Amino acid sequence: MKSTTFLALFLLSAIISHLPSSTADDDLVDAEGNLVENGGTYYLLPHIWAHGGGIETAKTGNEPCPLTVVRSPNEVSKGEPIRISSQFLSLFIPRGSLVALGFANPPSCAASPWWTVVDSPQGPAVKLSQQKLPEKDILVFKFEKVSHSNIHVYKLLYCQHDEEDVKCDQYIGIHRDRNGNRRLVVTEENPLELVLLKAKSETASSH
C-alpha cells in the first residue's frame, strides 16, 4: 500500500512539474506557444514561406510503398501529422530529451511508424522501416532552438548512440534527388528550421 501511494505521489509531482503555466527558453514549444505534448501529433513546417510544405512520405527506388521521409513540394501542404514521443513518463517533452518521430498514419508496408536513419547513395537518410526497430534506433532525434529567432523555431539534431554516451553533432537537412524529391538526410550544413503546429485529433488518429 505504501509503495502504491509513493508511486502515485511521484507521478503526480512529475505531472505538476510539467504543467504549461509558463515556459522557459529551452522548453519545446509549438507555434501557438504551448508546451509540446509527449505523444502528441504535430505538423513539422518550414518557418519561412516558399521553402516547401510539411513532412510526408514518398516512394523512391524499389520501395513497395512510400518509405522515404521527404518535405512536400507543395507550399500550402501541411504534410502528414507526426507523433513526437520521449522515453520519459511525462505529459510534455522534457527539455533537451531525445525523441522518436513517427507518422500518425504510416503507409501500409511500414512495420513501424517511427523514423530511423539508414545509409543511402545520398548519405544517411531518414526512412521508415519494413522491420521492427529497437528503441535505440528510433530515439535518435533532438530539437534545438534557433537562437536568432524571436519565435519558436527549431533545428532537428540527429543523435548517435555508443556504448557510453549519445553524440548529437549532426543535423537533419534536405537533399533534392534527380526526381525532385526533397529527402530528409543527415547533414552538417543547412539544417532544416521548423515550427511545430498542433494537429487536430480527427486528422491525427493512429491506425
pLDDT number for residue 27: 84
Output 141 or 164, whichever has higher pLDDT: 141
Question: What is the spatial distance between Cα 163 and Cα 45, in angstroms, rounded to a whole number?
Answer: 34
Average per-residue pLDDT in the chain? 85
pLDDT number for residue 21: 43
pLDDT number for residue 161: 87
Indicate whether 25 pLDDT > 70: no
Categorise residue 50: left if φ over 0, alpha if ψ from -120 to 50, beta otherwise.
left
The answer to whether 36 touches 23, Cβ cutoff 8 Å, is no
pLDDT level of residue 162 (50, 70, 90 thresholds): confident
pLDDT level of residue 121 (50, 70, 90 thresholds): confident
pLDDT number for residue 63: 93
pLDDT number for residue 151: 82
Question: What is the spatial distance between Cα 155 and Cα 79, in angstroms, rounded to a whole number?
Answer: 18
The residue ranges of every structural domain in the chain are: 22-198
pLDDT number for residue 201: 64
pLDDT level of residue 119 (50, 70, 90 thresholds): very high
pLDDT level of residue 4 (50, 70, 90 thresholds): very low
pLDDT number for residue 24: 60
* Strand, coil or helix: 143: strand
Identify the top-confidence range among 17-31, 54-68, 144-158: 54-68
Q: Which fold has domain 22-198?
A: Trefoil (Acidic Fibroblast Growth Factor, subunit A) (2.80.10)
Indicate whether 100 pLDDT > 70: yes
Residue 51: count of CB within 10 angstroms of its CB: 14
Query: For residue range 49-70, what is the model confidence (pLDDT) as tens digits?
Result: 767 899 999 999 999 999 999 9
